[in-house]
Structure 1
């Protein structure tokens, strides 16, 4: 099993993309995901578009450090957004060298969602980017089976967030039944067997919404490092050999308390330890 892996932006969303690249390189990550489109209402947007100083500096730091941009995020198809909204995200992703656009299914109209996703896939193709649908346990597309159906119908891929996969009741058998190559990225984290009762944070990076369910609070503010919880991570990873890994572990309180560098270094060590243990066990 390949032991190189990347860092999802949500693990350190308070870092602007150039700083994220530098911090990821320092901690030993091979790639990053970059948020180019807000995930929640009222969220501050980084000034990323082709030709902006921040985009240019992000590209420069990638070249200087060897860290690549694996994916850009996060575009929610909500029934109202169309090409005028997603083309800038695709253009920015191409400028950064990304090959994946993270997509959320937020439209209750299945037929309209399918049409929008198919149009997005077609528009993304000339940029060398594949939109990947992420099933999220509190969105309309919440299960792996639902995401897989839409992906097969539209030629989209899947971004598998382990937290939402587990919280939606996914099984390893579900993963083994998927068509080869449909999962493009695994967002890796850990957590307790049940959704924890967490306090609502006083604030979240970029002004993400604080008005949410326990699952939303866990997802955005407090995940566990790989190996620190109860998720069947070895089984999940072995069911999807060779799929790129992006470590997505926001822990807002810990990062504020111990510092971003220490937080990211701990995530890198935990992930390396997990992958090494899988290799040592002789699992494929």
Structure 2
């Protein structure tokens, strides 16, 4: 079974897109996944390529020289007061770079508002040929599979899909069997990692782990195979931030270890239910 892998930006967040592209190519990835939508989070660099023309030129050059492809961009958040049109420049850049998908998540408790804004994001993405992939996040408003499916079934947008993050799925305490009922064409890529099996009860600790202390495949406490086995064979975007290990190894070696551990894990855990896509 042929598998493809992307390097998610959160794994090497201190690498700007050009540097990250060269790094991903040397480490053996098929794709990169950028964060060109600046969210103003503490300590997070601004990689808004639409505003930084020099960085955009350098990114194009890196992608041309390496043959690396862009899988997706993030994060088109839905929150109170959001203007979905503010995501248009990033969508344009994604399309210009040959990207396929835009990751989204919902951070407002107003369901009707969330439905309206998510629908608008989907509509804005259509002219660019981009899909909008909804990710449920345990610390967000839409925090589990049921919540995400409710949104997707309600908006009924052809370019909307579901992006499963293995860490988030485990933390949401969802049942893997429920993935069988999800339309197969809603799955376009997933976030692959591992993490400690114990689920933090304190939100700040949950946030800390998901942002900076996930585990290599085979080293955490999540039964990754049981989740991945329910999903078609789609690209795996390795989102595995681990600040300590990245500092010890350096970003490139860390990215290489992330990829090799994922390949080793998947090769030793037969995924019998997957469909080749």
Q: TM-score, normalised by structure 1?
A: 0.89
Deviation at 1:38, TM superposition (A): 2.7
Q: Is the 8 A contact 2:198 2:221 kept in 1?
A: no
Aligned to 1:107: 108
Deviation at 1:282, TM superposition (A): 5.8
Q: Is the 8 A contact 1:5 1:247 kept in 2?
A: yes
Aligned to 1:78: 79
Alignment of 1:176-215 (within 5 A): 176-195=180-199, 213-215=204-206
Deviation at 1:254, TM superposition (A): 1.3
Q: Does 1:18 align with 2:18?
A: yes
Runs (4+) of structure 1 exceeding 6 A deviation are: none
SS at match of 2:105: strand
- Please give the alpha-carbon distance, in whole angstroms, between the structure 2 residues aligned to 1:229 and 1:51: 38
Deviation at 1:259, TM superposition (A): 1.0
Aligned to 1:160: 164
- Please give the alpha-carbon distance, in whole angstroms, between the structure 2 residues aligned to 1:24 and 1:271: 15
Listed as ranges, the gaps of 5+ residues in structure 2 are none
Q: Is the 8 A contact 1:24 1:32 kept in 2?
A: yes
Q: TM-score, normalised by structure 2?
A: 0.91
Q: Deviations over 1:176-198 (max 9, x none)?
A: 11112112221000012113699
Aligned to 1:278: 269
Deviation at 1:253, TM superposition (A): 1.4
Deviation at 1:164, TM superposition (A): 0.7
Deviation at 1:166, TM superposition (A): 0.4
Aligned to 1:175: 179
How many correspondences in the alignment? 270
The two structures, once aligned, show a CA RMSD in angstroms of 2.0
Aligned to 1:148: 149
- Please give the alpha-carbon distance, in whole angstroms, between the structure 1 residues aligned to 2:173 and 2:5: 25
Alignment of 1:1-284 (within 5 A): 1-42=1-42, 43-49=44-50, 52-154=53-155, 155=157, 156-195=160-199, 213-279=204-270, 284=274
Listed as ranges, the gaps of 5+ residues in structure 1 are 199-211
